[in-house]
Amino acid sequence: MTTTDLNKVLKYIEENIRVTNQTSIEYLDPKGHIERLDSKQNQIIFGRRGSGKSLLLKSLRVNKPEISCISINLEDFKDISFPNSIIQVLRSLIKQLKGEIKGKYSFFKSIKKWWETKRIIKEYDKILSKLEERLVQPDNYDEAIREKRGAKTSGEAKSGYGGSSASLSAEQSEEKEISKNFKIDKLNILKNELPELKELVNQTCNLIDKNIFLILDDFYFIRKSDQPYFIDFFHRLSKNTNMFLKVATIKHRSSLYVQGESYVGMEIGHDAQALNLDYSLENFNALVHFMRDLLEHVNSKVGVNIDYRNILTENAFRFLCLASGGVPRDFFSLFISLGNKMINGDRSISKPNVIDCSIENLPNKLEAFKTDTADEKEVLEHYLQFIRDEIITTKKNNSFLVSNSEIQKHPQLNQAIKELVDLRLIHLVNSNTSSAPSDGLRYSAYMVDIGLFPNANPRDFKQILPDEKDDKGRDDKIRSAPKLAISKFQDYIDSLNIESELALTE
Instruction: Identify which has the larger pLDDT, 151 or 308.
Output: 308
Confidence at 360, pLDDT banded by 50, 70, 90: very high
Burial 214-241 (b: 16+ CB within 10 A, else e): bbbbbbbbbbbebbbbbbbbbbebbeeb
Short-list 222, 215, 216, 499, CA closest to 372? 222
Residue 234 pLDDT = 97
Give the C-alpha separation, 446 to 429, whole Å: 5
The pLDDT value recorded for residue 183 is: 42
Mapped onto helix, strand or coil, the DSSP state of residue 29 is coil
Of 166-180, 246-260, 337-351, least confident by mean pLDDT is: 166-180
What is the pLDDT at residue 182?
A: 43
Query: Tens of pLDDT along 100-114?
Result: 998 887 776 788 889
pLDDT recorded at residue 139: 67
Q: What per-residue confidence (pLDDT) applies to 185?
A: 79
| Torsion (CA) 78, 82, 84, 87 in degrees, nearest 10 | 90
Which CATH class, in words, describes the domain spanning 32-137+188-276?
alpha beta
- Asked if pLDDT for residue 414 goes beyond 80, the answer is yes
Q: In this predicted structure, what is the pLDDT of residue 72?
A: 96
The domain ranges of the chain are 3-10+279-349, 32-137+188-276, 373-495
Question: Residue 197 contacts by C-beta under 8 Å, 6 or more apart in sequence?
Answer: 90, 127, 237
Compute CA distances 286 → 95, 163, 311, 321, 469, whole Å.
43, 120, 21, 11, 17
The answer to which of 18-27, 184-193, 242-251, 270-279 has the lowest mean pLDDT is: 18-27
Distances (CA, A) of 159 to 165, 205, 353, 443: 5, 81, 119, 107
What CA–CA distances, in Å, run from 282 to 29, 117, 278, 466? 19, 53, 11, 7
End-to-end CA distance of the chain: 48
Q: pLDDT at position 144, please?
A: 52
Q: Which of 128-132, 172-176, 235-239, 421-425 is the least confident region?
A: 172-176
Spell out the residues 6+ positions from residue 480 whose beta carbon is closer than 8 angstroms to its own: 435, 436
Q: What band does 23 get if pLDDT is binned at 50, 70 and 90?
A: confident
Q: DSSP 3-state assignment of 232?
A: helix
pLDDT value at 53 more than 50: yes
CA 277 to CA 46: how far, in whole Å? 6
* 165-177 CB burial, b ≥16 within 10 A, e <16: eeeeeeeeeeeee
> Where is pLDDT greater, at 269 or 178?
269
Instruction: Look at residues 423, 467, 454 and name the one whose alpha carbon lies nearest to residue 284.
Output: 467
Query: Contact 38/67 with Cβ under 8 angstroms?
Result: yes
Least confident of 59-63, 129-133, 276-280, 302-306: 59-63
> How far is 501 from 499, CA to CA, in rounded Å?
7
Given this model, what pLDDT does residue 263 score? 85
Q: Which residues are within 8 A (CB) of 333 and not within 5 positions of it... i.e. 6 or more apart?
A: 17, 361, 364
Q: How confident is the model at residue 229 (pLDDT cuts 50, 70, 90)?
A: very high
- Pairing state between β 172-185 and 140-153: antiparallel
Q: What is the pLDDT of residues 153-199, one digit of tens each?
A: 455 544 444 454 555 454 555 555 554 444 457 889 899 999 999 99
Task: Return mean pLDDT, the chain.
Answer: 87
What would the pLDDT profile of 427-460 be if each residue is shown by its tens digit?
999 999 999 989 999 999 999 999 999 888 888 9
Distance of CA 10 to the CA centre of its chain: 28
